[in-house]
Amino acid sequence: MNDVLVVDDDPHLLKALKITLHAHGYSVVTAPDGESALRSAAQHPFGVIVLDLGLPDMDGTAVITRLRQWSRVPILVLSARHGSDDKVKALDAGADDYVTKPFGLDELLARLRAVQRRTIQGEEAPVVTTASFTVDLALRRVTRNGQDVRLTPTEWGILELLVRNPEKLVTQQQLLTEIWGAAYTKEANYLRVYMAQLRRKLEPEPGTPRHFLTETGIGYRFQP
Amino acid sequence: MNDVLVVDDDPHLLKALKITLHAHGYSVVTAPDGESALRSAAQHPFGVIVLDLGLPDMDGTAVITRLRQWSRVPILVLSARHGSDDKVKALDAGADDYVTKPFGLDELLARLRAVQRRTIQGEEAPVVTTASFTVDLALRRVTRNGQDVRLTPTEWGILELLVRNPEKLVTQQQLLTEIWGAAYTKEANYLRVYMAQLRRKLEPEPGTPRHFLTETGIGYRFQP
DNA sequence: CGCGCACGTTAAGATGGCGTCAAGATCCGC
DNA sequence: GCGGATCTTGACGCCATCTTAACGTGCGCG
């Protein structure tokens, strides 16, 4: 879990952080705005997310709120502002810690370690088991009858979002915006195709699903 | 919050109500017209407001509208007229319930308690339970005798609106505009069809409903 | 006493969403 | 640049849901 997602609209800072973090053993992915950050986070599990509050497309706290709907990944917030208002808002939304720009790299690295240490301890095993398959969210692996099941990235995204909200009705809008982005809210077609594939790979009887239930006109529900 | 503001232009009724309510543990403030009522409400927080629609200086619904611009205090309306027109207007403006003059004190006291109970509970209750079914607003799920109940999107919309306002009289207009849109305020037919379906799915005896009560000519009320 | 209005109930037709399949288009690793 | 995996797109039949209309009932009012 040394994968870090860095979200900032300043390409120079992005590049500098990428180099520095890489030198300290982190594997770094970057995103320039909130949309792509959310998409990246949905498609790949990160050990920590470094998030600048001043993004071009959406408010930083909105990104945190959306992330927290399905993920508990530690979030370290960057902000240029000194006022404590947005700091409080970000922490309320679910951020774990806060660094004010300009910051020393030592401080950033220290807080990164602290944030990860804190969450590793308190974390329970993110493994979900049903009658017919098992999902290991940390290892990003699905097994069925002892066999690994191959899933495409998109299939993973959908499965992960549903499994992280067990029994909860996830709307088509939520799925489409989290996986494909806000511009795809009309493409309910995609969902039908991928839900069919997920069921074919995971359900004992794809024709009469037990774990991936359809709520017509609204969305889908995962039943462990 | 046992403070009550009673607004009426009849000094005898005012005095009688003051004595009766005081005897039942309420602390009563009175106002003879709309202006002074609004002033009182602004200066002192009341647990509930009892408002006569027939005031000398302004229309009762205007008082409700002005109050609702800044306060969510429960409002219980008194009306001398039998015509349901003004009642509907008052409820649409944001009143919580109404009592028709002449009324029994028992009824008034019962409705006062109900109106207050409603707002105390309604703060945050993602799960609402009745004798015959349970609604989980967060999971978007209804269970009855441990079994899931399948609801269509429209059925859920109506149920949610009613359940989020327990014991409150919700007008047909409110339901129609909220679920179908402002252009459908004439289609009271829809409500009858869907209320029948909700009762068939959720009431123990659909013929004599216990939880979804009809107020003829006005709207519906959810009784937990 | 009878008339009309509002409500409850039912059923049938219209509508639109869903599951399914397969053929391109596109991406990615080698 | 090539080949395979993955994603996008469109078409089709089926079914849940919505819409609409008709009929029976109870109640208030003239």
Say yes or no to pLDDT of A164 above 80: yes
Check: CB of residue A17 under 8 Å from CB of residue A8.
yes
* A 194-223 residues with CB < 8 A to B: 215-218, 221
Check: CB of residue B208 under 8 Å from CB of residue B193.
no
In the sheet with B127-129, reading across from the earlier edge strand, the strands are B127-129, B134-136, B141-144, B147-148
Q: How far: A170 CA to D9 C1' (Å)?
A: 25
Q: Which two tokens stand for residue A20?
A: 């520095």
Q: Tell me which of A69-73, A138-142, A186-190, B112-116 is least confident.
A: A69-73
Q: B136, B137, B139: which to substitute to probe chain A, counting the most A Cβ within 10 Å? A: B139
Q: How far out from the chain centre does Cα A44 lie?
A: 7
pLDDT of B142-182, one tens digit each?
A: 999 989 999 999 999 999 999 988 899 999 999 999 999 98
Q: How far: B169 CA to D27 C1' (Å)?
A: 21
Positions of E strands within B62-172:
75-79, 97-100, 127-129, 134-136, 141-144, 147-148, 169-171
**Mean pLDDT for all residues in chain A:** 85
Answer whether B147 touches A (CB < 8 Å): no
Say yes or no to pLDDT of A179 above 80: yes
Question: H or E element: which one contains B68?
Answer: helix B60-68
The phi, psi pair for B188, rounded to 5°, reads: -65, -15
Is residue B16 very low, low, confident or very high in pLDDT (cuts 50, 70, 90)?
A: very high
Say yes or no to pLDDT of A224 above 90: no
Say yes or no to pLDDT of B125 above 70: no
CB of A58 within 7 Å of some strand D atom: no
Say yes or no to pLDDT of A122 above 60: no
For residue A104, what pLDDT is reported? 67
Q: B134, B139, B140: which to substitute to probe chain A, counting the most A Cβ within 10 Å? A: B140
Chain A partners of B138 at a C-beta cutoff of 8 Å?
168
Highest mean pLDDT among A162-166, B118-122, B199-203: B199-203
In the sheet with B169-171, reading across from the earlier edge strand, the strands are B169-171, B219-222, B212-215
Is residue B219 very low, low, confident or very high in pLDDT (cuts 50, 70, 90)?
A: very high
Nucleic strand D contacts from chain B, 74-103, CB < 7 Å:
82
For residue A85, what pLDDT is reported? 67
Chain B partners of A218 at a C-beta cutoff of 8 Å?
140, 153, 156
For residue A99, what pLDDT is reported? 81
Say yes or no to pLDDT of A19 above 90: no
Question: H or E element: which one contains A120?
Answer: helix A105-121
Interacting residues of B190 by C-beta distance below 8 A, sequence separation 6+: B176, B180, B184
Angle at the Cα of B69 from the Cα atoms of B64 and B74, rounded to 5 degrees? 50
Residue type (1 letter), B43: Q
> How many CB pairs (< 8 A) connect A and B?
17
Chain A partners of B141 at a C-beta cutoff of 8 Å?
167, 169, 221
Cα dist from A138 to A52, A160, B5, B117, whole Å: 25, 11, 58, 46
Determine, for residues B140 and A167 on separate chains, whether the beta-carbon distance falls below 8 Å.
Answer: no
For residue A138, what pLDDT is reported? 76
Is residue A2 very low, low, confident or very high in pLDDT (cuts 50, 70, 90)?
A: confident
The strand pair at A75-79 and A48-52 is best described as parallel
Interacting residues of A144 by C-beta distance below 8 A, sequence separation 6+: A132, A133, A134, A201, A202
Q: Read off the pTM.
A: 0.73
CA nearest A170 in B: which residue?
A: B139
Question: H or E element: which one contains B52?
Answer: strand B48-52
Distance CA A56, CA B197 (A): 48
Residue type (1 letter), B82: H
CB of A154 within 7 Å of some strand D atom: yes
Distance CA B113, CA B90 (A): 20
Chain A partners of B156 at a C-beta cutoff of 8 Å?
218
Q: Which of B86, B89, B85, B49 is nearest to B67 (CA)?
A: B49
Hey, CA dihedral for A3, A8, A9, A15, is it positive or negative? negative
